[in-house]
């Protein structure tokens, strides 16, 4: 159908997958289950329809745009939420955008970080759901449960009403006993958080049942501004919007809701135990990612980013090693990982926010070493990309080219540097780094000074619209 607009909600933080997932680089941008990131997998599974509408927060905008561009899925729009307000307002923003392209636009609302293994079955389900949406229904996909899961909400459908069942009730995450009852009943389904609905119908029902959300979202979208490839929603209007999910704002009140049961190999990959379940295992039930050796170990998930990890005689462990952190947990306790994230946040540490390797729209940098009054970074600049023209009040910098060719501006004097050549940037000097070539530019940056924080950057010019 030419009027179907995939709508990707990319606001999650994925705290239960720390240290892989961080606030500024959460799980939807990670390659967890294939050669594609979770976001890319989501976009590709509906690539036969219109280009997606994506909703994300400002700090993720360049990552999301680049990852969609990598797979040829340049979006219909990337809508930037100035603050998070849950799914009901986010879908409203997408509906306003879709209606600019088609009066009969149908939204297929997907989370950016879910796994679906049976793509053909899912695409068939979307087309069936779109037929119900054409009739004015709000369709949600209910996952046919395979076990008594306590980590998901459930939807009860009325038996035998049609392929898409009239919704009887939504229920919160149950205890084990109640989850077993739901599984045995045959009319309860996992709440997937995926929806198919006409944009007009969604907005009409939102206006009817939660006018405050509708009004705030409408004003915020009406006063939005275009910023490069992004739609920047008006903050003053959007902060007034109530924080509410589509379930509470609409689905528990509307008479138009139906649940379409599907079995498509779905997982929200919401924990390391869920990740272990969906990944290939060796003969002993181990999932090994990276440089790993197991001896007499079984049913473990071991991932190493940059070091050798060995296990001996252990079972049911999750061991995750990144460049700056290591997590060791029993698989039965992985839901508690978010308590570590809370600890890091409360103690003012940064490991919950950023990886050691930080992505930027022009490339990335890796903080190799730091101490009192110095920091060393390995900086990679993409071909034909440029850092902002900037200055620092508290630090000087020394750049050494490792590979590639650099154009360096210091106080408006331009110099070309090649491998093994270097330049010194004094405190207060305006400067810019440009990669004029067709391959990555790599440099080592040595910072020295009284303060080395990232907020000591005064941008004078920036092609990415940052201030």
H/E segment holding residue 190? strand 188-198
Q: Are 374 and 420 found together in one domain?
A: yes
Is 19 part of any domain?
yes
Entry pTM: 0.91
Whole-number Å distance between alpha carbons of 155 and 189: 5
Is 110 part of any domain?
yes
Q: Is 262 exposed, middle or buried (0-12, 13-18, 19+ CB in 10 A)?
A: buried
Domain hosting residue 260, numbered range: 4-267
Bond preceding residue 176 cis, omega within 30 of 0: no
DSSP 198-235: EHHHHHHHHHHH-HHHHHHHHHHHHT-EEETTEEE--H
Dihedral sign of CA atoms 399, 405, 408, 414 in order: positive
pLDDT of residue 170: 93
Q: Say if CB 324 and CB 350 are below 8 A apart.
A: no
Q: Are 161 and 305 found together in one domain?
A: no
**Terminal Cα-to-Cα distance of the chain (whole angstroms):** 41
- Write out pLDDT tens, residues 157-199: 988 767 899 999 999 999 999 999 999 988 999 999 999 999 9
pLDDT of residue 2: 80
Q: Are 189 and 300 found together in one domain?
A: no
Q: Which two tokens stand for residue 423?
A: 């330049």
Q: Are 205 and 290 found together in one domain?
A: no
Q: Are 396 and 443 found together in one domain?
A: yes
Is 182 part of any domain?
yes
Q: Are 121 and 169 found together in one domain?
A: yes
Q: Is 328 exposed, middle or buried (0-12, 13-18, 19+ CB in 10 A)?
A: exposed
Q: Are 307 and 259 found together in one domain?
A: no
In the chain, the number of structural domains is 3
CA nearest neighbour of 148 among 115, 117, 116, 190: 190
Is 247 part of any domain?
yes
Going by DSSP bridges, is the β-strand pair 77-81/53-57 parallel, antiparallel, or unpaired? parallel
pLDDT of residue 162: 74
Q: Are 128 and 196 found together in one domain?
A: yes
Q: Are 90 and 225 found together in one domain?
A: yes
Q: Are 16 and 80 found together in one domain?
A: yes
Is 357 part of any domain?
no
CA nearest neighbour of 194 among 268, 132, 255, 124: 268
pLDDT of residue 229: 78
Q: Are 370 and 411 found together in one domain?
A: yes
Going by DSSP bridges, is the β-strand pair 301-304/326-330 parallel, antiparallel, or unpaired? unpaired
Is 446 part of any domain?
yes
Q: Say if CB 420 and CB 395 are below 8 A apart.
A: no
Q: Are 108 and 257 found together in one domain?
A: yes
Average confidence (pLDDT) per 10 residues, the chain, 467 residues: 91 90 95 96 94 94 94 94 95 97 97 96 96 97 93 89 87 92 92 97 97 97 89 95 95 95 95 96 97 97 96 98 96 94 95 92 94 96 96 97 97 96 97 97 97 92 79
Question: Which one of 243, 267, 291 terminates a domain?
Answer: 267
pLDDT of residue 11: 87
Question: Which one of 245, 267, 289 terminates a domain?
Answer: 267
Q: Which two tokens stand for residue 315?
A: 């079972």
CA nearest neighbour of 324 among 309, 305, 298, 296: 305
CATH assignment at residue 408: 2.60.120.10
Q: Which two tokens stand for residue 78?
A: 């990337």
């Amino acid at each position: 159908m030419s009027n179907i607009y995939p709508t990707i909600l990319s606001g999650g933080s994925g705290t239960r997958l720390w240290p892989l997932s961080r606030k500024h680089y959460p799980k939807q941008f990670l390659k967890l289950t294939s050669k594609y990131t979770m976001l890319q997998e989501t976009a590709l599974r509906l690539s036969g329809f219109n280009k997606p509408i994506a909703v994300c927060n400002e700090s993720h905008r360049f990552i999301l745009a680049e990852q969609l561009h990598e797979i040829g899925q340049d979006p219909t729009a990337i809508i930037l939420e100035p603050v998070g307000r849950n799914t009901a307002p986010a879908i409203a923003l997408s509906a306003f955008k879709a209606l600019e392209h088609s009066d009969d636009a149908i939204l297929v609302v997907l989370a950016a970080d879910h796994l679906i293994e049976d793509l053909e079955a899912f695409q068939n389900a979307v087309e069936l759901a779109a037929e119900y949406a054409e009739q004015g229904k709000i369709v949600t996909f209910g996952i046919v449960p395979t076990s008594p899961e306590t980590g998901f909400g459930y939807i009860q459908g009325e038996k035998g009403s049609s392929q898409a069942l009239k919704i009887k009730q939504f229920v919160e995450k149950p205890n084990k006993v109640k989850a077993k009852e739901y599984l045995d009943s045959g009319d309860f389904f996992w709440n997937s958080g995926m929806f198919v609905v006409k944009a007009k119908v969604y907005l009409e029902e939102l206006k009817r049942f939660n006018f405050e959300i509708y009004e705030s979202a409408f004003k915020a979208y009406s006063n939005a501004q275009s910023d490069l490839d992004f739609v920047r929603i008006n903050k003053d209007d959007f902060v007034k919007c109530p924080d509410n999910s589509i379930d509470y704002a609409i689905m528990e009140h509307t008479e138009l809701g139906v649940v379409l049961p599907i079995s498509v190999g779905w997982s929200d990959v919401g924990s390391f135990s869920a990740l272990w379940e969906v990944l290939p295992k060796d003969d002993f039930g181990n999932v090994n990612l990276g440089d790993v050796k197991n001896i007499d170990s079984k049913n473990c998930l071991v991932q190493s980013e940059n070091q050798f990890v060995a296990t001996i005689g252990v079972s049911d462990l999750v061991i995750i090693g990144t460049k700056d952190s290591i997590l060791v947990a029993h698989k039965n306790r992985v839901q508690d990982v978010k308590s570590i994230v809370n600890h890091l946040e409360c103690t003012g540490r940064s490991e919950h926010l950023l990886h050691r390797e930080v992505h930027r729209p022009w490339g990335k940098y890796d903080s190799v070493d730091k101490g009192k009054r110095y920091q060393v970074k390995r900086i990679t600049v993409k071909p034909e990309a440029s850092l902002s023209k900037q200055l620092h009040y508290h630090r000087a910098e020394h750049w050494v080219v490792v590979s590639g060719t650099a154009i360096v501006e210091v106080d408006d004097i331009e110099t070309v540097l090649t491998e093994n050549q270097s330049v010194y940037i004094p405190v207060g000097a305006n400067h810019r780094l440009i990669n004029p070539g067709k391959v990555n530019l790599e440099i080592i940056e040595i910072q020295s000074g009284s303060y080395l924080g990232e907020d000591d950057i005064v941008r004078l010019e920036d092609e990415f619209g940052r201030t």
